[in-house]
A and B are shown apart, each in its own frame.
Chain A
């Protein structure tokens, strides 16, 4: 006699766009905690072979660093930090607070991006990320023509 298993009905989630469009691609993408994987692969640093690879990671780091560094020079945030530290009695304390804030905002941004990457199909994700980068490029071009 077959006893139907006690079905505890999982709350039926509304199917997200990504599930509708590309379930396989979604499953293939590195869903949970690739941060952790990357961190652990680094700790035992003789173990190679996890997806990005040290060389690729350094490349990503450098390209990210360079573009954002150049974009951020002379930006309003940098000017605000400059003014605050110039006016205050302890400029390094201002710099510390500002630095922590910058680290926090970039962490928020990166985590938001990572979260979005689990919601969107890789194709949609690449397209929207590309458009976002185009927008940033346009903003910088606009600043180029504004500044004299």
Chain B
């Protein structure tokens, strides 16, 4: 096993993800949600699946996927979660109910 390559991939991706929007989302959701475990599993699974898809599709992913519109949907999703957090009071547990 090529530990050098493994370590290189790890460090590269770790550094590029630090402070990235997905990590910011993990901070925001992990702090405000009822279940830290569910947020962690959701975040990690999403990131791994997205990169798996990238590796599988290779360079064609930009052509195959309507990335622009996927971004738009994600923006709406985060906007909805933000509004829910900003408008709900604490007695209705945020993000976990309705």
Contact = CB atoms under 8 A, between A and B. Distances in A.
Interface in B54-98: 54-55, 58-59, 61-62, 65, 67-68, 70-79, 81-86, 88, 90, 93-97
A114 B46 contact: no
B46 A72 contact: yes
Interface in A94-136: 94-114, 116-117, 120, 122-123, 125-136
State the main secondary structure of chain B at its contact with A: helix
Interface string B1-37: 1100111111111101110111111111111111111
Given A35-B36, A68-B25, A112-B30, A126 B90 contact: yes
Interface residues of B, number: 81
A140 B75 contact: yes
Contacts, number: 331
Contacts of B17: 77, 101-102, 105
Contact of B53 (A39, A52, A73, A108): A73
Interface residues of A, number: 88
Interface of A: 25, 34-35, 38-39, 51-52, 56-82, 84-86, 88, 90-91, 93-114, 116-117, 120, 122-123, 125-141, 143-144, 147-148
Interface of B: 1-2, 5-14, 16-18, 20-55, 58-59, 61-62, 65, 67-68, 70-79, 81-86, 88, 90, 93-97
